[in-house]
Amino acid sequence: MNVNLFLLIAFCIALLFILFLVTKLRRVRGQLSIIEEALEDIKTGNPNRRVLTRKSDMTKRICYAVNEIAVKNQSQLISQKQSEQAYKRLMTSLSHDVKTPLASLVGYLEAATTGLVAGDEKEAYLHVAVEKAYHLKNFVETLFEWVKLDAKEQIFHFEICDLNELTRNIVAEWVPTLERNHFEYDFDIPEDEYFLRIDLHSYTRILNNLLQNTLMHSGGNKLTLKLLENEQQVKIIISDNGKGISPSDIPHIFERMYQCDRSRSALGNGLGLSITQELVNAHNGKIKADSKPGTGTVFTVLFPKAL
């Protein structure tokens, strides 16, 4: 009798155990079919697909590994796509922004060479044509620089240097230009040393672009540059007393080819601020613009001390 009872209990335990195993098996099979479906999807070109899994899942490691491969695949595809798009934008830019100055250059040269104008006027036409050609050359060079940044193909050489000293040297070169353009200026750069890891060329470019931008587009006559430094970061503030930028333009000014006055063939090329932003980003920094129309614009650049 006792033996029978023991057998019955043993049988029940065995049955429960089998039931447990069967449910477990079914769950794993279900998960396997999900993995299979996802793998098929990834294989046919959808690297966005992920397999979801829980901490208690037996297939956890497989799922994580599949996802990792998919993520890697995806980021490769994305960077490929980005450089493709960058070149597409270059083509658009070449076709639109080069065509206009080129057409007008041809117009001037044709007029001068076919005898439409003569004497002093011919000289003047040739002079304009030369200026336009230089402008175009400049634009194309800047464009290629921008494309390199846009396609993330620019190589940076980061080194530690004294930011205060470097900044002083850069702004010193601007003094004659500012005076020639009747700009009042005020540079507030700390006397001590402040070491930061940066790419020299990029930093120079960033400051030059911002100063150039103020000089050409602000419409003001006063410029201030201030460096605020602490253990975490350095803040570079460049402000003017010009006409300002309207609130509707502010979100776009760092976009490529965005020009507030939209006069394309006039001054500037619509690439300066876009390049500046890309360069600041490469230093893990931030750039922003604040402006009140009528009272001026403030550009603020932030670089973290630890790169």
Partner 1 sequence: MSDYVIETKRLTKNYGEQTAVNAVNVHVEKGRIYGLLGRNGAGKTTIMKMILGLTPITSGEVDVFGQNIKGREKRVYPRIGAIIETPGFYPNLTGTENLEIFARLRGTAAPNAVKNALDIVGLPYRDKKLFSKYSLGMKQRLGIANAILHDPELLILDEPTNGLDPIGIAEVRDFIKDLSTEHGKTILISSHILSEIALLADDIGIIDHGVLLEENSMETLKRKNSKYILLQVSDIPKTSLVLERQFGVTDYSVQDDHSLRIYNTSLDMAAVNKALVVQDVAVISSQLCNDTLEDYFKKITGGEGIA
Residues that bind partner 1 (CB under 8 A): 34, 37, 46-55, 57, 63-64, 67-68, 71, 74, 77-78, 82, 96-97, 99-100, 102-104, 106-108, 110-111, 251, 262-266
Return d(Cα 71, Cα 118) in angstroms, integer: 67
Is-contact 229 194, C-beta < 8 A?
Answer: yes
CB 171, min distance to partner 1, A: 30
Q: Which is nearer to partner 1, 190 or 268 (CB)?
A: 268
CB 34, min distance to partner 1, A: 7
CB 168, min distance to partner 1, A: 33
| Residue from 272, 263, 267 nearest 141 by CA | 272
Q: Which residue has the tokens 């630890």?
A: 306
Strand 296-304 to 286-292 pairing: antiparallel
Q: Which is nearer to partner 1, 74 or 295 (CB)?
A: 74
Q: Which is nearer to partner 1, 74 or 204 (CB)?
A: 74
CB 223, min distance to partner 1, A: 26
Return d(Cα 87, Cα 254) in angstroms, integer: 19
- DSSP-derived letter for residue 261 is T
Q: What SS3 class is residue 300?
A: strand
- DSSP-derived letter for residue 182 is T
| Residue from 214, 223, 229, 222 nearest 165 by CA | 229
Q: Which is nearer to partner 1, 66 or 166 (CB)?
A: 66
CB 165, min distance to partner 1, A: 34
Q: Please count the residues of the chain.
A: 307
Q: Which is nearer to partner 1, 51 or 223 (CB)?
A: 51
CB 265, min distance to partner 1, A: 5
Is-contact 238 225, C-beta < 8 A?
Answer: yes
- DSSP-derived letter for residue 152 is T
Q: Which is nearer to partner 1, 16 or 28 (CB)?
A: 28
Return d(Cα 291, Cα 58) in angstroms, integer: 58
Q: Which is nearer to partner 1, 31 or 218 (CB)?
A: 31
CB 52, min distance to partner 1, A: 4
Strand 195-199 to 286-292 pairing: unpaired
